[in-house]
């Protein structure tokens, strides 16, 4: 099928783009990499009257260091550029490790970092990564710019805190905390498919090797990314032994997400099983990486 008719604008500056958004509001859709939007338009699941194409705005394509030792990624930066960035690998290695899980190389050549986060697909990896790392999203409109904390950004199925006249212009991440480790795990039917269940983990140890802080964020289990807070509460203050990690992963499945979504690909029971298994694997690797930092140079990062 072909999309329904629409008006097309290709602004060359952010000012021009937000001016168009102010003019058209709910009638307009932003076109980033088009990897999610164009298929839905071709199926006529989405019929925007106006498309605002961001591909000719050079100011939205960048990966820059921030003064606090973090990294800022422009909305239109392609997945492939993020995947290949040495700066991202150094400052936010969880992102680098996650990128190859997103779709296929051809899609990562066009799909954008900002587009994936603005789209808020509950099966996507990057919203969970944003939450695990405690990143921030920059929203820009004619009214000005604001930064939204990851915890406040995702509101539900394909829903975010962006207002109709706002566009996502950048995403920022601070540096990794001391004595921290990270991991990402997912199961999909074929590599490149959306995950049946996935999880990202960030853990911090205190000087004595006990868990000081943790984030365990699941995706493809509900209407959006889910923080397994009860699992995390069971980890805080504990030495991350195999038993403690197993108990936390089991809590994620039994208390945090007891009724994950069912669909033609996976039952609730299967997803619940994956929540426990993947949670254990992710926490084990994340704590292993954090412990290696306490052990000193020579350990894995």
Ligand X SMILES: Cc1cc2nc3c(=O)[nH]c(=O)nc-3n(C[C@H](O)[C@H](O)[C@H](O)COP(=O)(O)OP(=O)(O)OC[C@H]3O[C@@H](n4cnc5c(N)ncnc54)[C@H](O)[C@@H]3O)c2cc1C
Least distance (Å) from ligand X to the CB of residue 143? 15
Region near ligand X per CB under 6 A, out of 65-73, 122-130, 201-209, 265-273 = 122-130
115 in contact with ligand X (CB under 6 A): yes
* Gyration radius (Cα) of the chain, Å: 20
141 in contact with ligand X (CB under 6 A): no
Q: How many CB atoms are closer than 10 A to CB 35?
A: 20
Least distance (Å) from ligand X to the CB of residue 39? 6
Least distance (Å) from ligand X to the CB of residue 213? 26
Task: Report the residue from 70, 74, 111, 135 that binds ligand X according to the rule CB under 6 A.
Answer: 111
233 in contact with ligand X (CB under 6 A): no
Going by DSSP bridges, is the β-strand pair 28-31/50-53 parallel, antiparallel, or unpaired?
parallel
Please give the residue whose beta carbon sits closest to ligand X in the complex.
111
Region near ligand X per CB under 6 A, out of 120-128, 229-237, 267-275, 277-285 = 120-128
Task: Report the residue from 18, 20, 32, 212 that binds ligand X according to the rule CB under 6 A.
Answer: 32
Asked whether 79 and 101 are in contact (CB, 8 A), the reply is no
Please tell me the number of Cα atoms within 13 Å of 163 on its side-chain side: 15
Task: Report the residue from 107, 244, 255, 292 that binds ligand X according to the rule CB under 6 A.
Answer: 107
Task: Report the residue from 18, 88, 102, 235 that binds ligand X according to the rule CB under 6 A.
Answer: 102
Please give the full DSSP string across the chain, using - where no structure is assigned. Answer: --PPP-EEE--SSHHHHHHHHHHHGGGEEEESS-TTHHHHHHTTS---SEEEE-TT-GGG--EEE-TTS-EEEETT-BHHHHHT-HHHHHH-HHHHHHGGGSS-HHHHHH-BHHHHHHHT-TT-HHHHHHHHHT-EEEEEETTEEEEEEHHHHEEETTEES--TT-EEEEEEE-PPPTTEEEEEEEE-SSTTSPPSEEEEEEEEE-TTSSEEEEEEEEESSSSS-EE-HHHHHHHTTS---HHHHHHHHHHIIIIISSS----SS--HHHHHHHHHHHHHHHHHHHHHHHHHHHH-BTB--
Binding track over 72-91 against ligand X, x by CB under 6 A = ---x----------------
Task: Report the residue from 124, 200, 285, 293 that binds ligand X according to the rule CB under 6 A.
Answer: 124
Q: Identify the burial level of 182 via C-beta atoms within 10 angstroms of its C-beta, where 0-12 means exposed, 13-18 middle and 19 or more buried.
A: buried
98 in contact with ligand X (CB under 6 A): no
217 in contact with ligand X (CB under 6 A): no
Q: Which two tokens stand for residue 28?
A: 């307009």
Task: Report the residue from 33, 70, 74, 225 that binds ligand X according to the rule CB under 6 A.
Answer: 33
Nearer to ligand X, 41 or 235 (CB): 41
Site for ligand X in 142-181 (CB under 6 A): 162, 167-168
Binding track over 35-54 against ligand X, x by CB under 6 A = xxx-----------------
29 in contact with ligand X (CB under 6 A): yes
Task: Report the residue from 154, 173, 194, 218 that binds ligand X according to the rule CB under 6 A.
Answer: 194
118 in contact with ligand X (CB under 6 A): yes
Residues that bind ligand X (CB under 6 A): 29-37, 75, 102-103, 107, 111-112, 114-116, 118-119, 121, 124-126, 162, 167-168, 194
């Amino acid at each position: 099928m072909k999309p329904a008719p629409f008006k097309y604008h290709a602004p060359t500056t952010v000012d021009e783009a937000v001016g168009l958004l102010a003019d058209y509001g709910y009638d307009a859709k932003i076109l980033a990499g088009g990897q999610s939007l164009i298929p839905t338009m071709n199926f006529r699941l989405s019929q925007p009257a106006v498309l605002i194409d961001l591909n000719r705005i050079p100011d939205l394509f960048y990966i820059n260091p921030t003064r606090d030792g973090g990294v800022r990624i422009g909305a239109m930066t392609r997945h492939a550029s993020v995947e290949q960035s040495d700066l991202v690998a150094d400052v936010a290695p969880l992102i680098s490790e996650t990128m190859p899980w997103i779709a296929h190389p051809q899609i990562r050549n066009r799909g954008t970092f900002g587009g994936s986060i603005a789209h808020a697909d509950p099966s996507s990896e990057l919203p969970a990564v944003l939450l695990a790392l405690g990143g921030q999203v920059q929203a820009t409109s004619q009214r000005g710019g604001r930064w939204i904390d990851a915890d406040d950004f995702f509101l539900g199925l394909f829903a975010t805190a962006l207002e109709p006249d706002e566009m996502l212009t950048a995403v920022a991440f601070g540096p990794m905390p001391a004595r921290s480790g990270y991991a990402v795990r997912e199961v999909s039917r074929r590599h490149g498919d959306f995950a049946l269940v996935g999880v990202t983990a960030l853990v911090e140890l205190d000087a004595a090797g006990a868990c000081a802080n943790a984030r365990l964020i699941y995706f493809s289990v509900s209407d959006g990314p889910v923080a397994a807070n009860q699992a995390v509460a069971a980890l805080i203050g504990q030495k991350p032994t195999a038993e403690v990690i197993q108990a936390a992963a089991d809590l994620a499945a039994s208390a945090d997400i007891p009724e994950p979504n069912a669909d033609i690909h996976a039952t609730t029971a299967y997803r619940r099983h994956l929540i426990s298994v993947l949670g254990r694997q992710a926490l084990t690797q994340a704590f292993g990486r954090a412990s290696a930092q306490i052990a000193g140079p020579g350990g894995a990062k």
